[in-house]
Every structure is written in C-alpha cells, then in structure tokens.
Structure 1
Amino acid sequence: MQTRNLLYGALAVLFATSCSNTKYLAEGELLYVGGSVKIEGKDIPKSECKNLKKELEDLLRPKPNKKILGLRPKLYLYNIAGEPKKEKGFRYWLRYKVGEPPVTFGKVDLKYNSDILQNYVENHGYYQAQTTSDSTRHGKKATAEYTVKPGKQFKIRNVIFPSDSTDALVKAIGRTKRRSLLKPGEGYNLDVIKDERERIDARLKQKGYYFFNADYLKVQVDSTNGDHTVDLTIVVKDETPDNAREVYKINDIVIYPNYSITESKKITQSDSITKYKDFTIIDPENTFNPRIYDRTLYFKKGDLYNRTDHNLSLSRLVNLGTFKFVKNEFRVSPRFENTLDAYYYLTPLPKKSIRVEVLAKTNSANYTGTELNVNWSNRNTFKGAELLTATVFGGLEVQVSGQNKGFNVYRFGGEVNLFWPRIIAPFVKIESSEGFVPRTKATLGYEFQKRIKLYALNTFKGSFGYQFKENARKEHQLNLTEITYVSPANVSELYLSQIDANPSLGKVIEKQLIFGPTYSYTYTNTMQKRKKNTIYFKGSLEAAGTIAGLATGADASSGDVKNLFGVPFSQFVKAETEFRHYFKFSENSQLASRIIVGAGLPYGNSTALPFIKQFFIGGTNSIRAFRARSIGPGTFRSEVDEDSFLPDQSGDLKLELNTEYRAKLFSVVNGAIFVDAGNIWLMKDDTNKPGAKFSGDFLNELAVGTGAGLRFDLSFLVLRLDLAFPLRKPYLPDGQRWVLDQVAFGNGSWRKENLVFNLAIGYPF
C-alpha cells in the first residue's frame, strides 16, 4: 500500500509539473500540442479512410513536443534548467542535451500544411479533393485541425506499354510489362509511377542501355473516361538522345591497381602494361597477381553491359579488403561503334600495418576486465590479396560481485590467421548475389589461462575452413576440421580438495583432444532499419571424433577408451540454435526477444561432453537474476562455503528465453526492463547431482528472473548496468519455487541474497 501511494504521489507531481510548462511561455505565445486530420466523404471505405488519415497526419509540421505517458518531461526539464550563463556545465547539458525547447503555435503554417495535404491526396488519385484548416485555443495551448474532402479515388483502368515498333528501345520497354508495378484496379499513385520509371530503367540497364535514364520516360495519364478511372501510357520522350537508344558492349578493360587519387597523370608507358586474358593491367611494380582480377571482375570483353555485373564487380573489389578506394568509369570506345572501355582505378591500403588496442570487456561469467591486443596484418601476402594476421594478447578479468570474487583470471596468448579470397577446394565454385567474396581461412592459436588459487590451462587451437556470404543477410561457415588440445597445469590443493566433494570438477582439468568438422548458418535482416519486425537466427552443428571413433572401435561405456598421442579424444555431436526477434514500436523503443536451444550427445570414446563444449547459463548476457554459471543442471544446486569459489555448473542440454523492452530516455541514456528464463540439464543420471537429468517436467525446472537497467550509448561502446532479482528458483522444493511473494526491497538480507548487479559492455542480445 505504501509503495502504491508513493507511485500515485510521483505521478501527481509529474502531472502538476507538466501542466506548469505553459507558464514559461512569453506573453502572447501558445504551446502547440498537435494537429489532427479529419476525412470527410462517403465514397471512401472506412479502412481506406483510416490509413489515409494516418498518412496525412504524419505529414504535418512541426511536430509537437514529445510526450511520455501523456506528459512532456523533456520540455519541463528545458524550462526548469533556465538559460545557462555559459555553453557548458550541468545546466547547459540539462537544457540543451536532455531538454527540448517549446514548439509554439507561431511556428505552425496552416496554409503550408494544407497545401502539403492537398498535393498528397491529388498525387494519390483524389483529383477533386478539398482541404481546409482551422485552429483551436485552450488556455495557453493550441491545436490545428485540417479537414480533407478527398472524393472518390481514381483507379487504373489500363496500362499501355509501347508495342509493334521497329525501334529496338521501344520493343525492349514493351518486354518489361510482365513485372510492371502499375496494376489495373489499383488506385492512381504518383509515387508508384515514379517507381515504375525507375524499374524500367533498371531493366534496360541489364540489356546494355548504358546511357538511358528514367527521366527519358513519361507516363501519360488519360482521366477522360468519366467513371473515375485513368488509362496510363508509357512513352519515350522525343528529346531522348541517340546514345540512350543504343545497346553497348564491353571492349577494353583497363586496370590501375596502384592508382593515387592525388596523381593527375596516369602511367601509360608500354613497359608497365601487362596483358592478362581480357584485361590490360598498368602495374609497373607488379603488386598483384593478375588472377585476382579474373576472379573479381564480372565483365569480359564482348559482354553486353549490364548494371548487375557493374555493381557486383565493384562490390567484390571492395570486399577483398585490400583497397582503400575503388573507382570505376566507362568511356565510349574510339575504335568500335557502340562499345565501352571500362576503367578501374584501385588505391591499395598499406600492405602491412600494426594496430594496438586496449579493450574493456565483460563475459557471461560475470567477469569484467581489460585486455591489450597487438595486431599485425599483411593484406597481400602472396600477391593474391591474401590477408595474413597475427595477434598477441594479454588481459586480466575480475568478478566485481559474486562468490568468485578474488579468483581472478589472467590470460595471454596469440593467434595467426590466413585468409584466401577464394574457395580452395577442387571443382568448387561459389558466387554471391551481392558480390561478397568467399574466403578460405586457416587458423593457429595458443592461450594460457590462469585462474588464481585454482589451476592453469594451456589451450592449442587450429582450424581450416570456409566463410561465405550469399548476401548481406545469409552467411555460412564451414570448418573442415577444428582441433583443440587442452592441457592443465599448476592445479592447487584447494581445487583438488573440492574435487572430492564435487567429482565433476575433475573434468575441468582433464587433458582434452577435440577434432572434427563444424558448420554454422546465420540469417539476419536487422540492418533493415525501416522494418517493424526483424530477426536474427544462428544454427550450428559440431561433430567431433566421428571417423577416429569408427576407425578405432572406441567404446568408453564399456571401458574401451582410445588415445591419440597419449590423450583420449572426444567423440560427440553438438547442435545449438539461437533465434532473436526485434519488434520496433517507434524510432526510440523496441521489444527484443531471444530463444536459445542447445543439445550435446557424447558417444563412442566419450561418456560426457568435454568441459569446454558443455552448456552454461546465468550471468550478464544470460539469466541476469542469477550469478554466472550458477544455475542447474536441473534442480541441482551446488552448496559451497562462502569462502570458497563457486564452481561452474554445466550441462548437456540448454533452454533459454529472454525478452527485453528497450526505450530511449534522453540523450545517450536508454532504459530497459526484462524477463529471463531457462536452465541446463544432463542427458544421464549423475549420483553426485540429484535432479540434474532432463525429464518431461523440464518446464517446472526453469529459473526465472526480472529486472531493469540503463544503457549508456556512447557510440564507440554501450555501457550496460542491469539490476535483477529472481522470480523462480528451480533448486527449491516443488511447489515453493515461485518466490514473487517474498520480494522485499526494504529488507537488507533479501537484497543481499537476491539482488544481482550486472556491469557489462554491449547489449545482451
């Protein structure tokens, strides 16, 4: 009751302060609180009327001050801050960065808005429309009202494309009719007509009409039918130049691989010219092997010009990652009629570079720290635009809260990667519809990780595989082989003593040898900012030790464990999928949701998944109301002394669900409220972990938490602060797991046990 009264009081204060915004206005000024459009007419269906009203109201300018829950807090903050004496400091920041100046009625031009509405409805086929405007004053506030009488909309009766002509251009236009955007029966719309001209122009560009332009087309409108219909006729303008009516082919292809944008004179000496297939290469320094142009450029001599090959060639040159600037131009060939010479001016990035990075980072285990990376790269290793990178790194990670505080992690190591801008495999050719370059990647790496007071791990990694993007939305990664070898060192007595109480901890310090193919597929359209609904999906599959297990006949379940190089190799299949959905309410608010499902099945030479391949849950990027890796498996809970470290709880199966409402509060500050749920389970019974096995009652074993947070979007990074608490604890007895009725923010012992603060960098998903 006390909390409810406090909330009501806060709302009353906000309402009162919002109402006081008008007292800051100058004498005679009125606060503009919005405009509305009324549609009058019996000839328009209700659904059409509703859509038209919304479209017209979106056109009104200016927009009134922003409202949140019916209030205008930004305007209030602008007013109470007052005029600052200097252009810095808290008052200036509050008034001009957080606040928002009043939108007064004097800024509203009723006639201008009326003209905009009139033009819009006429351009959408309401030729006999009438628009009027008026305003209403309420105290020191004013609104604008617009009345639109659109009449009946004109519909398209016929769309007439030119035909039966000896003109090749006119015939080519006629052949584009099948995919026309103009449909009989639909309403007249000037925007669609403009799009249709652009569509026809794009189709002609595919057929060699390099010099054609959408402006050379006009659509004649005949509205004399008398039944609110129009006939549309596609016509080529008489003033269309001759070259726009001709089809062009590619003649010479000239490439300048070392072009400098500061040089006005190009190299033309005969001794600097190299001929390779259809290409003329002017590269006296022999910087690149000519074969990269054959793989990158779509045009060949004699090809009909088309815009797709034009754009794909440029995209592939850019996606090589070797050139700083890529410029292309076509010139009419002086030697042959209706041909174009293609010129490519390429400015390389520095061949070798070194970069030093100091990073702040967080991970799912609630560790926060810093890392130093030194990166060296060679962008043209074997003169074929191959990219060789070498990285050395070192860092420290600490847990700022939680039971593992003090058990810090030190790590250092290095990694070498070599990328080839092609698929190195016999009889395999992959093309992208958007010019992305497929890559072959080889990796070698080493990492030393030291967990203070516990143990150290030496990890060696190697892989060879392929990366390929079909387009901007779809990406594939296939590693033909991925090898990981883990060897422990410096295991402490503290850790060894804990193994006696929790034998599963012994898996962490076992030697591990993992090898086999991996594959992942990613689809996302989140880059499409105008879409209301966007998604992200990633699915991965890993199969380790399959061939080796079959060849050796390994059967760990019967004690027949096989070794390679003196180490038992792992044999398992693991799959994981992650799906995210983003629903945009407005430019400044959205609902983000995620579901993760994963499963791993050991067999043959393994009775359990290797520790580094098992699933974990909880922490800053997972279920934020629980400490990292502290949930499950199942209803099991590890009981440890407060002075000891909290062991990582792992499982063979994982289910996680998250949803988060995000909204911009002001300036760079965003807020969020969220709910997380999930758990992990084992595939088999473990006498040391009762309740850990997956069963049909898994929904009753989900952990659930909720909370709120702030995100500081600083452009170069997003600093995230989340405060969460559990709603459901799976390790409690059945029937007592929901703990919502126990929430007591005023109780110190409850806060200590349940409130979890998460400090992280970046969004959780």
Structure 2
Amino acid sequence: MKTKYIKYFIALSLFFAFGCSNTKYLPDGDLLFTGSSVTVKDSVLKKKEKKALENELETLLRPKPNKKIFGLRPKLLIYNLAGEPKKEKGIRHWLRTKVGEAPVLFSKVDLDYNVAVLRNFTENKGYFKTRVSADSTAKNKKATAEYTIWPKRQYKIKNVQFPADSSDLGKAIAQTNRLTLLKEGEPYNLEVIKLERERIDARLKEKGYYYFNPDYILAQVDSTKGDYEVNIKLKIKDETPEKAAIAYKINKIVVYPNFSISKDSVTYKKEDIVQYKDFTIIDSANTFKPRVFDRALYFKKGDLYNRKNHNLSLNRFVNLGTFNFVKNEFKVSDSLKNTLDAYYYLTLLPKKFIRVEVLGKTNSAGFTGSEINVNWNNRNVFRGAELLTVSVFGGADFQLSGENKGQNIYKLGTETSLTWPRLITPFTIESDQEFVPRTKATVRYEYQNRTQLYALNSFKTSFGYIWKSNIRKEHQLNVVDITYVSPNNVTAEYQADIDADAALGKVIEKQLIFGPTYSYTFTNTMQKRKKNTFYFNTEVDLAGNITGLLKGANAKQGDTIKIFDVPFSQYVKIKADFRHYLKLGKEGELASRIILGAGFAYGNSITLPTTKQFVVGGTNSIRAFRARSLGPGSYQAPLTSNSFLPDQSADLKLEFNTEYRAKIYGLMKGALFVDAGNIWLLNADPDKAGAEISKDFMKEIAVGAGAGLRFDFSFLILRTDLAFPLRKPYLTEGQRWVIDDIDFGNGSWRKENLIFNIAIGYPF
C-alpha cells in the first residue's frame, strides 16, 4: 500500500515539475505572457462598482494567456511535452496541434492598442476624458501587463429630445418616445443609443416604413451644459432617401407555389393565373387549394406594411411542412403610388417519400434486439398541405442471459395518421399565429408476442389537436382516444403463474379504454444563452368518466358495465415532469428532473389498466435497477415457476434524477448521475406485502448512482451508462442502504449490482 502512494507522489511531483517548465521552449528573447490586470482608481465609485468595472474591462484585453487550471497550464504543458513533430500525423502531431496549446508570447501583446480599447469603452459608458496607462512586469521568463484607469465622473442623461418636425416620419418617430430606452437620470451609454435606434426602426417597420433603417437616425449628444450631464437630440439624417420616409401599403399579392430556384425567371400562361380574394396564385400544376394561402398570408390588399405580419406569413409557409424554400420579395408598385407589391416564391419538398429507421438496442432488463420502421409519407395528399403517413414496424427483443431467458418478445404492427394544418373544430382554440395549429387522426394496430407466455393484440385510434399559444407553450388535446387490448395464445405455463399470483392475470385481461387526454408543455431550453432553463410537461388522462357516471357503474359492488362484452376502464390519471438545466461554463451542465404521477380508478374499475400504470427502473428512469423491476414500495417480486420475472406497476410514482454533464474531448461527453424514486399502490394488495402507500413512503425510496459516456454524432446521441444501487427498498428496514457493500473488485457483487445501459438520446 505504501509503494502505491509513493508512486502517486512521484507521478504528481513529475507533473508539477513539468508544469513549471513551460518557459523552457520559448523563442530566444521572448517571454511567456501570463495575464493582464486592470485597476480602476476612482474616489466616487463604490468598491463593488469598481470591481465590476475592472472585471468588465479585463474581458476586452487581448491576447488571452494560456488557460490555467489549479495553478497549471495543462494544454501548454502537453504542447511542450509533445515536442516538434517530424510529420503531420501520428500521436505526437495530434497531441501538439489538437490537445496542446502553443505558448502565448508577450511579444504579441500590444499595450497601446489595449489602452485605446479601454479608453474607448469607458468613454462609451459615459466616463468622458478617461486617462489610461499601461505597464508590464517581467520575471523568470514570464511577463504580465498592468493597466490603470482614472475615469472621470460618469455623465448622466439630462434630457432626450425626439424629432419635432411636422413630417409624417418625424411624427411617427416622436410617437415612439413613450417606450424609449433613453431614460433621464440614467448613465450615458453608447450601446443603449444604438439599441434605441434599432427600437425606433422596429416600431417604424410596424407602421409601413419598409425602406427605413436605424442608420437614418442621428443622435446628437451635447455635454457642454449641465453638471456632468448630457442632452441627447434624435433627428432624421438629411441624407435619408425619400422612399425611407414613406409609409407603404400593400397592393398586389402574388404567390408562386411551384417555384423552381434553378430558373432565373418565372414564365407562365394566362390560364395558370388564379385570383382568390386579395391575392393571385400562379401555378400551372394547380398544386394547392387557394384557401391554404389564405390561412398562411397575413397581408391583405390595402393593409399598411407591417414587419410582424411579414414574418408571420413566412413562418406559416415554413411550418406548413410542404415547402423546402420560401422566398419573399417586396417591390414598389408601378400602378399605385406609395404601395408595395408582395411576391412569394415557394419551392416544394418531394410530395412522396419513404423513411426507413433501423434501431439496435439493449436495456437494463437484459434484452437485446432490433426494430425496423418503414414510413411512407404523402405531403399535400388532398391539396390542402395535409400529411398522410403509413407506417409498418416490427421488432424483436432477446434476453441472452438473466431471469427472463427464453421469454423473447416479438412485435409487429402498422399505423396510419393524417394531419391537417388547421383546426377542424366547431370551437375556437387560441394559438400563436406564428405556428400552424394542426388536427391529427391516428389508427394503430400492434401484435406483441412474449414467447412461452402470452400474446396481445392492441388497437388504438385517436383524434385531436396540437397547437402553440407561443414559442414556449404547446398544447395537445385528444378529444377521442380509444384503446382496445385483447389477449391471445396464453400458455399453460403462464396460466399456472396466474393461479399462483392473481395479479399476473391483469396483464392479459381484455381492456377497453376511451376518453379525452390532454398534455401541456412549457420549455425555454431553446434559449441557449440562459444559465437556467426549464422544461415542464403535465398530462391528464380521463377514461370512461362520463359513461361511468351516466351508467352508475360500481365495480366494487359488482355493477360492472360492459361494452361489446368488455368492461371499460374508468379512472383519472395525472402526471407531471419538471426539469431544470443549469449551465456550468461552456461545456458543463447540471440537469435535474422530478416526476410525480397519480392514477385513481373508480366506478367501473377497481384498478388502473396495466398499460396505464406507472413503472420505474431502466435506461431513462432509475438506471441502477432493471426496467420495470422495482417496487411497488418495499415489495420484491419473486421468480415465477417458469423463471419469469414479471413487470411491476402501480398507481403512484415519485422519481428524482440529477446528472452532471461535461465535455471530455471532441464528440465524447461524460456524466455522473444519481437517481431515486419508487412506485406505490393506492390500495393494499394481499399478494404484495409492502406495496401500499403509507406515511413512511420516503423510507421506501430506491437510490442508484453511476457514470456514463455520451457520443454526440450530431444526428444522434449514443448513450452508455453504468449504474449500481445505493439503496434497495425491498431489504429489511435499517439495512436498505448498501453503500458499505460496494466492492467493484468482487465478481459476485458486480454480477448482482452493476447495470449496463445503452440508449439513444439523453435520459431527460
């Protein structure tokens, strides 16, 4: 043991010794640049304000020194250790050019340039007539740069004056002053002035000024009057072109829905022209019904040009899903003064296409297999930008070892869906105009065969709506959602298991589930610059509620209502999924998730259908436990007579996950994670001791931890996770924490506890 520590000490000492030799290979007469500092000397600024200004100014300085980690510069160290490669390939060249980093030399530091940058920045912040000096310090072949700043008192805005001329443009600009960014009493800031010009331009674009741009606004700043104050006068530049001062209206609207970008010009015949309401369609193939464009276009003839409607129209065309390329052009009209003719050139995506997906997979239950999906798609099937998709899929999962060896799973099925780019509904649903709301109808059949056990036929149909109230909020409402499940080929072996455990019979019961479902999703994860982002999804599933209430169903008293000789399910189920993502630098992230779920069966049902119950464990859940094997509560399912390990499901679910993600190198990322949670039954089951929810449910939380690799291939993320349990809820109370039992060197422990998962995509 002592020898091992001596080796570690020697290795660490050598590393530090090499780390200190980063100046050994510098060019003759040059120094290693190790960093810059900025000192603000001001008696007015508070200490906190001075520090903030110093930090802000230091980010402007160039060049940046070699990156330092724990007092060392590892990339520079690797660069020096690699030496000069003799050829442009091999491990030495890779280490020096890809992993290593060349030394930043002091000869590359331009002190005068940095002084000018600092002076310019501070003056743009209102510290006029700032004095800046620069100096340097050299020692042991290393050099630093020191900058000192003596800012004058910061100027504040005393008065802001908008154009007072009587022109239409001047009046339009003056009318925007209520929301100005230039506030009296606030510090002068050149960047805010630029933003104010852009704000005015954006507002003018909503009032018809198509040819205006921010450069036509001049901000005159007078600092000669007042005590460290400035007066700002906004005016229209004299050289502003005439057309920029005109508010344009829309005249002609022309759509080319079958445009080819390979052609330099558009040619058409008179019979190709279709006039519909306020716009003209030129399409010899008669590709679309005219109402498609009526719903997409937000301009009408005579409307004042509006950039919001301009962008909305383009976004709607893109979101229809039938166009590969959308080009828009406005031209001054020849026929009517102060008007624009709008032209839309739309290039079609292929009308019909086939997509084949082949997936290889493994899961924590020990199953290895593959799946193939063949999807035939027809865009614009009824000339209304509808999407028809017909899918055929099949797959097989084999367990090569483990408890379920021999009980392989095969599935085969088909699905047909039709999506309309509009809401087919007698009522109104509020939707963000930028996103096309959709109506979707689906029919699906799946046959699943679990060899040596049973087979299931599953039929499903749904009809509903998908819409967005804004870019962050999406709704999906299925007003019709019907599922029918029927068993087939139940083996004598599985029947024997049912005789021993009646709960296994629920899996092969005929099921009829119908009722509305609704889901709501909020996310701002698309905002890449935010440090904290969130994802929230909630689902509500209401099955058989109205029918059960009208029929007076009461399964507990034996009054079960059947439809086509099948009892229908009656329940309320709610699930919520909340995720938080915290950015830790450029390449690090802490991702956390909590899932809450509850289902309550009543009326015509005593328990939730098996397919609607909650499960935990597996590649996207608590990864230290095999899929669907954990719980409920402190219950542990025994092996059946034919060594079949049944799936475990329940009415309640609580799950926590947190995962630290960081880039290792290139496309490889690493992760450390902790998962926790369990499921419970609402009502006691005599065959499952400890499965019912109780006041001590937190004592039955399972905990697992592990590490993994993620390979980001841009088109997909391949994920591998190795996990092990920290807490097993099915052990005797007081013995559930198993941290002390961890022994990676023990083969028996590894076989029993280590779970290896391979999956596509992140777990959350």
- For the 8 Å contact 1:393–1:413, the answer to whether it is kept is yes
In the alignment, what sits opposite 1:678?
677
Per the alignment, do residues 508 and 30 of structure 1 end up closer, same or farther by CA in structure 2, a change over 3 Å counting? farther
Contact 1:724/1:755, CA 8 A, preserved across alignment: yes
- Aligned pairs (5 A) from 1:481-630: 481-630=480-629
Any idea what the Cα deviations from partners look like across 1:253-290, whole Å, max 9, x if unmatched? Answer: 11111111111231342221111110111112211100
Aligned to 1:45: 46
Report the CA distance between 1:733 and its aligned residue. Answer: 2.1
Give, in angstroms, the shift of residue 328 of structure 1: 0.7
**Structure 2 counterpart SS, 1:638:** coil
| 1:721 Cα deviation from its structure 2 partner | 2.1
One-letter amino acid of the counterpart of residue 38, structure 1 = T
CA distance in 2, matches of 1:495, 1:16: 68
Q: 1:715/1:95 Cα in 2 relative to 1: closer, same or farther (>3 Å)?
A: farther
Matched, 1:638 2:616: no
Structure 1 pair 465–658 and aligned structure 2 pair: CA distance change class (3 A): same
* CA distance in structure 2 between the partners assigned to 1:398 and 1:92 by the alignment: 45
How many angstroms apart in 2 are the aligned matches of 1:90 and 1:485? 60
What is the Cα deviation at residue 8 of structure 1?
A: 7.1
Paired AA for residue 216 in structure 2? Y
Against the structure 1 CA distance between its residues 114 and 405, is the aligned structure 2 distance closer, same or farther, given a 3 Å change threshold?
A: farther
Task: Confirm or deny: 8 A CA contact 2:475 2:521 kept in the other structure.
Answer: yes
Structure 1 pair 12/594, CA: closer, same or farther in 2 (3 Å)? Answer: farther
1:649 aligned counterpart, secondary structure: coil
* Residue-by-residue CA offset, 1:131-160 (whole Å, 9 max, x unaligned): 223333343443333222223221212222
Cα distance between partner residues in 1 of 2:289 and 2:205: 31
How far 1:91 moved relative to its partner?
A: 4.5
SS in 2 for 1:231: strand
Match of 1:333, as an amino acid?
Answer: S
TM-score (norm 2): 0.95
State the SS of the aligned residue for 1:238: coil
| Deviates most, 749-758 or 311-320 | 749-758
Residue type matched to 2:128 in 1? Y
Shift of 1:454: 2.9
Range with greater deviation from structure 2 (606-615 or 481-490): 481-490
Within 1, Cα distance between the matches of 2:455 and 2:229?
80
SS at match of 1:220: strand
How far, CA to CA, are the matches of 1:11 and 1:470 in structure 2? 58
Q: Note closer, same or farther for the CA distance 1:12–1:673 as it changes in structure 2 (3 Å cut).
A: farther
Residues 441/124 of structure 1: CA separation in 2 closer, same or farther (3 Å cut): same
**Change over 3 Å in CA distance of 1:27–1:647 after alignment to 2:** farther
2:58 is matched with which residue?
57
- Please give the per-residue CA displacement for 1:633-678, whole angstroms capped at 9, x wherever unaligned: 1111123279823321111111111111111122222122111111
SS at match of 1:661: strand
Q: Tell me whether 211-220 or 502-511 shows the greater mean CA deviation.
A: 502-511
On the 8 A contact 1:253/1:279 being kept in 2, the answer is yes
Cα distance in structure 1, aligned partners of 2:273 and 2:129: 67
Letter of the 2:117 partner, please give it: I
Q: TM-score if structure 1 supplies the norm length?
A: 0.94
Distance 1:497 1:66, change over 3 A: farther
Structure 2 distance, partners of 1:15, 1:373, is 55
Count of aligned residue pairs for this structure pair:
763
Give the Å deviation of 1:60.
2.5
Residue of structure 2 equivalent to 1:259: 259
Residue 365 to residue 391, structure 1, CA distance change in 2 (3 Å) = farther
Q: Provide the rounded CA distance (Å) in 2 between the counterparts of 1:706 and 1:309.
A: 51
What one-letter code is carried by the residue in structure 1 that aligns with 2:751?
Answer: K
CA separation of 1:84/1:630 partners in 2, compared to 1, >3 Å: closer, same or farther?
A: farther
Q: Amino acid of the residue matched to residue 659 of structure 2?
A: E
Distance in 1 between residues matched to 2:630 and 2:7, nearest whole Å: 35
Residues 497, 641 of structure 2: 8 Å contact kept: no
The answer to whether 1:296 aligns with 2:296 is: yes
Letter in 1 for 2:482: I
Q: Shift of the alpha carbon at 1:375?
A: 1.5
- On the 8 A contact 2:396/2:410 being kept in 1, the answer is yes
Cα distance in 2, alignment partners of residues 39 and 742 from structure 1 = 57
What is the correspondence of 1:96-495 to structure 2 with a 5 Å cutoff? 96-163=97-164, 165-361=165-361, 367-398=367-398, 403-404=403-404, 407-428=407-428, 430-433=430-433, 435-495=434-494
1:365–1:620 Cα contact (<8 Å) kept: no
C-alpha distance in 1, partners of 2:371/2:226?
Answer: 75
Structure 1 CA distance for aligned equivalents of residues 606 and 396 of structure 2: 34
Comparing 497-506 and 116-125, the one that deviates more = 497-506
Return closer, same or farther for 1:289/1:641 CA change in 2, 3 Å cut-off: closer
Q: Secondary structure at the match of 2:507?
A: helix
**Aligned residues: CA RMSD:** 2.4
User: Is 256-265 or 559-568 further displaced after alignment?
Assistant: 559-568
Shift of 1:712: 1.7
- Counterparts of 1:8 and 1:248 in 2: how far apart (Å)? 77
Rounded Cα–Cα distance in structure 2 between residues aligned with 1:734 and 1:622: 24
Distance 1:627 1:234, change over 3 A: same
Alignment of 1:644-659 (within 5 A): 644-659=643-658
Q: 1:177 to 1:733 in 2, by over 3 A?
A: same
Gapped regions of structure 2 (runs ≥ 5): none
Secondary structure at the aligned position of 2:170 is classed as helix
The CA deviation at 1:717 is: 1.9
Q: Which amino acid aligns with 1:385?
A: A
Deviation at 1:88, TM superposition (A): 4.7
Q: Secondary structure of the residue that 2:295 maps to in structure 1?
A: helix
In structure 1, give the amino acid aligned to 2:108: K
Please list the CA deviations of residues 216-249 of structure 1 after superposition, one character each: whole Å capped at 9, or x if unmatched. Answer: 1011111113422211111111111121111111
* Partners of 1:457 and 1:489 within 8 A in 2: yes
Q: What aligned pairs does 1:692-707 form with structure 2 within 5 A after superposition?
A: 692-707=691-706
> Displacement of 1:554 after TM fit?
1.8
Is the 2:134–2:145 contact (alpha carbons within 8 Å) kept by the matching residues of 1? yes
| Identity value in percent | 64
SS in 1 for 2:579: strand
In 2 relative to 1, CA 517–78 (structure 1 residues): closer, same or farther, beyond 3 Å? farther
Counterpart AA for 1:761: I
Q: How does 1:699-718 map to 2 (within 5 A)?
A: 699-718=698-717
Q: 1:656 to 1:138 in 2, by over 3 A?
A: farther
- Contact 2:362–2:757 (CA<8 Å) still a contact in 1? no
Q: Cα gap change, 1:128/1:57 in structure 2, threshold over 3 Å: closer, same or farther? A: same
1:408 Cα deviation from its structure 2 partner = 3.5
Equivalent positions of 1:20-99 (< 5 A) are: 20-84=21-85, 87-99=88-100
With over 3 angstroms needed to count, the CA separation of the structure-2 counterparts of 1:665 and 1:68, relative to structure 1, is: farther
**Bigger CA drift: 749-758 or 694-703?**
749-758
Secondary structure of 1:258's counterpart equals coil
Asked whether the 8 Å contact 2:659–2:672 carries over to 1, the reply is yes
Give the Cα separation in 1 of the matches to 2:154 and 2:584: 31
Q: Secondary structure at the match of 2:470?
A: coil
Q: Distance in 2 between matches of 1:618 and 1:187?
A: 57
Q: CA deviation at 1:349?
A: 1.0
- Structure 1 position 207, deviation (Å): 0.8
Equivalent-residue separation in structure 1 for 2:13 and 2:398 (angstroms): 44
| CA deviation map 1:558-608 (0-9, x unaligned) | 122222122221111111011111111211111111111011111111111
Q: 1:263 to 1:223 in 2, by over 3 A?
A: same
- The 3-state SS of whatever aligns with 1:470 is strand
Distance 1:499 1:758 in 2: 31
CA distance in structure 1 between the partners assigned to 2:643 and 2:62 by the alignment: 64
- Secondary structure at 2:221 match in 1: strand
- Partner SS, residue 243 of structure 1: helix
Alpha-carbon distance between aligned partners in 2 of 1:627 and 1:64, rounded to the nearest angstrom: 49
Separation (CA, whole Å) in 1 of partners of 2:66 and 2:493: 62
Contact in 2 for aligned 1:362/1:761 (Cα 8 Å): no
- Give, in angstroms, the shift of residue 121 of structure 1: 1.4
